[in-house]
Amino acid sequence: MASCPLFLLAPQPPPPLVAARHCRSPLAGSAHPLTSCRAPRLRRRQSCRCSSSPSSSSSSSSGPRERSPRPRQRKQRTEQRPGSGSAVDPVGFLVKTGVSDRAFAQFLRDRHKALKDRRWELYSRFIDLKEGSSGYELLGMHRHRQHRVDFMDWAPGARYCSLIGDFNQWSATENCAREGHLGHDDFGYWFVILEDKLREGQEPDEYFFQEYNYVDDYDKGDNGVDAKDLIRRMNEEYWEPGEVTSRKSRWETVAKLYEQMFGPNGPQTEEELGEIPDAETRYKNWKATQKDESSSSSPSYDIIDTGQEFDIFNVVTDRASFEKFQAKATPLAYWVEMRKGRKAWIEKYVPAISHKDKYRIYFNTPDGALERVPAWATYVLPDAEGMQSYAVHWEPPPEEIYKWRFGRPKVKGSLRIYECHVGISGSEQKISSFQEFTSNVLPHIKNAGYNAVQIIGVLEHKDYSSVGYKVTNYFAVSSRFGTPDDFKKLVDEAHGLGLLVLIDIVHSYASADEMVGLSLFDGSNDCYFHSGKRGHHKYWGTRMFKYDDVDVLHFLLSNLSWWVTEYKIDGFQFHSLSSMLYTHNGFSTFTGAIEEYCNQYVDKDALIYLILANEMLHELHPDIITIAEDATYYPGLCEPTTQGGLGFDYWANLSIPEMWLWHLENVPEREWSMNKIMKVLISSNHHMLSYVENHNQSISGRKSFAEIILNTGMCSSGSVDDDLIFKASSLLKIIKLITFTTSGGAYLNFMGNEFAHPKRVEFPMSSNEYSFHLACRQWELLDKGVHKHIFNFDKDIMSLDENERVTSRGSLNVHHCDDTNMVISFTRGPFLFVFNFNPEVPYQLYRVGVDEAGEYQLILNTDETKYGGRGELKSSQYMKKTSDRRADGCRNSLELALASRSAQVYKLVRILRI
């Protein structure tokens, strides 16, 4: 990407994350036209929107009955987000970081204005972020309680839509949706209803609103109670006399009024009509006819006349009527009893589409007919020979629905993330499954001391060699690993072991496959993606999302919320942000100058989407974790959105593995610069995710670090006495330790690297004749030779952080960094870390400075025999007492014995006051 190594860019540190709440725009008065097709909950939301429109809140600020729109919901959301009282400052974080670039500050202000406009546009359609991120509740395929299945998808460029599949013998003319008949709305959303079929000999329900409790196995409706009897009982037992007005038709009152005014007995001339009194006079006349009796069942209403324009909030009831009304319980029990259960549904209806039925969506477009996999499909089976990919209707019966056993764990302190890929997690040369991963790998992750697992390649993708990054179906788990319930069990078992579950989410680009993905979904070139060159990645052959479109934002935000809601995911790593933040997709000469973050190549719409995504996730799910993977280190990644930042919790420092790789491949070990190493490790470690290597360092033809440092041929013998093997393993251990201990509260390790897996990862592709030889993990090496020793060391590092909270102790204080002796020393809280990178020279009495006088106890030593070391340090040297001799600018110092290529961790156990 750049003309110089990535680690030499010296990124600016994202300051600590402060939880904050964004300022929401006023609620809009227009409702989404499709919401009326769904459940009563959505219709109630429509009425709330209308009540908050300007026309219904026109009373002045001095009025006693003035109410703000949706006060209850606004108060509740304010309490959910800590720090919500922070003032909004679009350039607030620049003061913290010391950036004084005027052009960048103006860019942040312009971006904030565009963000407010985008919020207003989004809220005009979806009320708020919660509504705008819950599209999965409407779109896709859902069972309706009125014995039917509803399907909805977005295709603004199509002229005709229908569902085809096993349920209708792949007919394109049944269950169609065309304009004027359950067709599309003004925004291009298509709505299709699949009616359940009556069994032979059964009669349709008399009441159109008859509902069926399809999910639960038991319901009172299964007792065979007749609906007419229930309505009669409700009228007799619940309603008081006068509360229910029996009418043969809902138009009866309207017909009577029409007859009175325009019928043959009505006034024929204006003289006969007379003068119509004003509303107040007519109200008083009506009031005089009412009986003022406490026994009356009708409530008494009065109007407070303060000279203001009439408002529904000016209408109040008298206290007695109000208390009487509040004392009445709702007739919910009657309606619950009227609902029929699943047993009654099975006896009467045949499902329109059954569990595991295959289906696709059929479009007629200006360019011809198209068949596509629905964009909101939750389970997709890939291509088979001679067949197209298709969606699978996943609606298991109640007895087969997965039942969650464990809640989300609470992780205190730092994150120790175990990155993995399900398909290559087995030792056999095949694609492993969710079930195998749950049984074999999850216990190992827990035993290794990690507290979070990050899974890549979970979302459905057609090309297995893409490692899962060319996503085709964003709401579906990859079917090559198992079913949705298999993945739920994986997440549930991980939670039971106390492990958080994170997934890599790829919203920076999408697969260009037209038959199974989103490309040309409705026949047009600008449905989900930009048109022209901007809609295509310059080098990867993928499509780029159109982040300025409200419906695309609806899709992406709903996708995030779907994984958290449906699968109880604990967090996301946003993959390859540099691909979406710049129109050159990050493939340009990049020096890290501040003007490169605000020039014409920056995609402001992509930045706004990331802000909205973080605001939505942290507002609706306060414990969620978001990680930014950005090779350009955009300023403000982990700053609160109210202060001009993007709102991430952590950012992945990609410079660290690049730095180690550059040293290993290009610099003789005796010439390593300690100052350059520490500059990359600690130049910006606030909320920094560090790692020695992840999957990027061993995929696409590159070697893993173990393959570089440890000679594979030598390691196969398992001999730890060999001098070359000893030196190589010693170097790998100190690289791991210094990377871990300088992290900013999060550390990541790729699957197998904890025991120095000797082989790289290479997915099956044409270049290797689709071989699985390198697409697996050699777990049998865990108990052999040098791999066993390195795993023991890695496990003890994790245990040290679990018990001592090493990486949660605040910032580092580097006391000693000597390029000549190749020694590094720094403190972090009460801990002292000393590293000797010299491959040849040991030191018997090496003096390092410390701030605090006292006794320091050795708690970790890379040279111990259980880690494959020489064990040169004697037990009498495990406790060290400081002297008052100054060193490294400190008033106190220690004299330590340092073996070559070794590291030691000391803890201050006793403080001496002088």
Co-location of 636 and 695 in the same domain: no
Q: Domain holding 322: CATH number?
A: 2.60.40.10
Give CA–CA dist 344/812, Å, rounded.
67
pLDDT of 647: 95
Give CA–CA dist 545/603, Å, rounded.
11
Co-location of 683 and 642 in the same domain: no
Give CA–CA dist 893/914, Å, rounded.
14
Residue 709 dihedral angles phi and psi, to the nearest 5°:
-75, -50
Alpha helices (runs of H) in 82-151, residue ranges in sequence order: 92-97, 102-126, 129-132
Alpha helices (runs of H) in 154-251, residue ranges in sequence order: 227-237
Is residue 225 assigned to a domain? no
- Taking the CA atoms of the chain, what radius of gyration do you get in angstroms? 34
Give CA–CA dist 195/182, Å, rounded.
13
HSE (CB half, 13 Å, CA atoms) of 507? Answer: 25
Among this protein's residues, is 371 annotated catalytic?
Answer: no
Is residue 894 assigned to a domain? yes
pLDDT of 635: 93
Co-location of 767 and 792 in the same domain: yes
Co-location of 463 and 509 in the same domain: yes
pLDDT of 45: 35
Co-location of 505 and 475 in the same domain: yes
Is residue 666 assigned to a domain? yes
The residues, ordered by sequence, that sit 6+ positions from 843 with a Cβ below 8 Å of its Cβ are 821, 823, 836, 896, 897, 898
Summarize pLDDT for 417-472 with one digit per residue, the tens.
999 999 999 999 999 999 999 999 999 999 999 999 999 999 999 989 899 999 99
Name the domain boundary from 586, 619, 654: 654
Co-location of 889 and 812 in the same domain: yes
CB burial of residue 440 (10 Å; 0-12, 13-18, 19+): middle
Summarize pLDDT for 873-887 with one digit per residue, the tens.
887 788 999 999 999
What amino acid is encoded at 216 in this protein? D
CB burial of residue 526 (10 Å; 0-12, 13-18, 19+): middle
- CB atoms near residue 246 (< 10 Å): 6
Co-location of 303 and 180 in the same domain: yes
Co-location of 545 and 640 in the same domain: yes
Total-model pTM? 0.82
Is residue 520 assigned to a domain? yes
Co-location of 674 and 644 in the same domain: no
Among candidate residues 337, 419, 629, 804, the one labeled active-site is 629
CB burial of residue 2 (10 Å; 0-12, 13-18, 19+): middle
Q: Domain holding 736: CATH number?
A: 2.60.40.1180
Is residue 117 assigned to a domain? no
What amino acid is encoded at 480 in this protein? R
Co-location of 487 and 607 in the same domain: yes
Name the domain boundary from 654, 673, 690: 654
Could you say which residues of the chain have pLDDT below 70? 1-86, 179-181, 209, 215-224, 241-250, 290-318, 321, 384-387, 698, 700-701, 711-722, 914
Co-location of 181 and 306 in the same domain: yes
Is residue 8 assigned to a domain? no
pLDDT of 311: 60
Is residue 39 assigned to a domain? no
Give me the number of domains the chain comprises. 3
pLDDT of 14: 41
Give CA–CA dist 678/690, Å, rounded.
13
Give CA–CA dist 878/881, Å, rounded.
10
The residues, ordered by sequence, that sit 6+ positions from 119 with a Cβ below 8 Å of its Cβ are 22, 24, 25, 612
Greatest CA separation for the chain: 119
Co-location of 474 and 549 in the same domain: yes
Give CA–CA dist 386/394, Å, rounded.
24
634-662 exposure pattern, b = at least 16 Cβ within 10 A, e = fewer: bbbbbbbbbbbbbbbbbbbbbbbbbbbbb
Q: Domain holding 520: CATH number?
A: 3.20.20.80
Domain that holds residue 448: 425-654
pLDDT of 30: 37
Residue whose structure tokens are 């406009």: 117
Is residue 399 assigned to a domain? no
Alpha helices (runs of H) in 339-441, residue ranges in sequence order: 342-348, 434-436
Name the domain boundary from 351, 381, 411: 381
pLDDT of 310: 58
